[in-house]
Amino acid sequence: MNKVQHNLWMFGRDDCTRCGGLVIFLILQLQASPKCDGRCSVAQKIKKIKFCVTCVMDSSFKHGRRNDCLTSSANSDISSQLPQFLTKISSLPDKMEFMQILACQYDIAWEDKQANFRQIDRMLHHEAISPGALIVLPEMFSTGFSFNMDTVAEDTQRPAEQYMAQLAADTESCVIGGVVTRDLSGKGLNQALAMGPDGLAISRFTKLHPFSPAGEHHHFHRGHAPEVFDWQGWRIAMFVCYDLRFPEAFRLASKQDAQVMVVIANFPAKRDHHWRSLLVARAIENQCYIVAVNRIGSDPNAKYCGSSLIVDPMGHIVKDAGSEQKVLNIELEQDNLCEYRKAFPVLRDRWMI
């Protein structure tokens, strides 16, 4: 029988629905079962449990999309070790100093949602996804950039949002992707949606600057302001494509202490140099991480450059997807960000915007 390793850390907190006490979310590392074929990812070896410190009610459940390599006795094994883990609770961090990013760059199948859902599943199938990760998909990730509202806009079934909710639940992650909704007038809203593992939207941002050279402003309303949300102790802001050219929008997010700025896009290949240069500039200006996810391939509108990037607060490109289908898989470190901001206090010294 495999034993649960004693590697654990705090993933989150909540209120107990039974007694109102403090519920602790723990992540435990598991060994693979004897049946494991050696291809287990880190995600397959992770176990997440939650319990109330007051009533010590175990609500263990499996983590991961494939659990065949976890021992069937894992739940009881964890439960038997909970008392000894309780003594360690006071020393556990209440936030994650590292956050895993998985940025998915692919050729979006034109106006074919199911094909794109399958494509994302294939790309993530062999990735090691830790609980609390941030998975990022491109602008209009399920259809490509289209003004055909009857096809791209979410209907009453909300297939793109439902897909994101299931992916977030399966991986215990936050999933960011581009969706299209309509307002009461029938006009579109080009949005970046952050979906939590509980199936609820954490944040919904409407593109501030519809791309007028392509006539997007005739089909979509603009948004009003950036919004910063919290995920695993990190402050995250979202932007969509053309917003990248407007630094004042990013500065507004910076004033809300955004640490990670996510840019999702369908950015054309002919302006690849602009894309890369502006992303580096936004990181330097705001002393933040930039997670930028673009698409590759082509559609009836344009050819796309890819060049999905992870940029650190000093403007260094630490991950670059180039023009290939790829998942950028990296951990961001919060301590490095805070130390850099403290040592070089540009944000503290600003006084205008």
Q: How many C-beta atoms surround the C-beta of residue 173 within 10 A?
A: 25
At which residue do the structure tokens 């009881």 appear? 76
- Active-site residue, 207 included: yes
Q: Which of 139, 161, 172, 216 is catalytic?
A: 139
Q: Which of 45, 50, 207, 326 is catalytic?
A: 207
**SS3 (DSSP) at 182:** strand
Contact 123, 104 (CB under 8 A): yes
- Active-site residue, 241 included: yes
Q: What is the DSSP string of 153-176?
A: B--TT-HHHHHHHHHHHHHTSEEE
Residues ≥6 apart with Cβ < 8 Å to 75: 58, 60
Contact 141, 99 (CB under 8 A): no
CA distances to 1, 208, 282, 328, 347 from 274, in Å: 56, 19, 12, 21, 24
- Angstrom distance (rounded) from CA 81 to CA 71: 16
Q: Which of 52, 104, 174, 241 is catalytic?
A: 241
User: Chain-centre distance of CA 228, in angstroms?
Assistant: 13
Helices 159-171 and 113-124 pack at an angle, to 10 degrees, of 10
At which residue do the structure tokens 């997670």 appear? 291
- Angstrom distance (rounded) from CA 167 to CA 52: 26
Amino acid at 254: S
- Active-site residue, 338 included: no
Q: Output the six-digit token pair for 14.
A: 């909540």
SS3 content of the chain, % helix, strand, coil (to 5): 30, 30, 40
Q: How many C-beta atoms surround the C-beta of residue 61 within 10 A?
A: 11
**SS3 (DSSP) at 224:** coil
Active site residues: 139, 207, 241
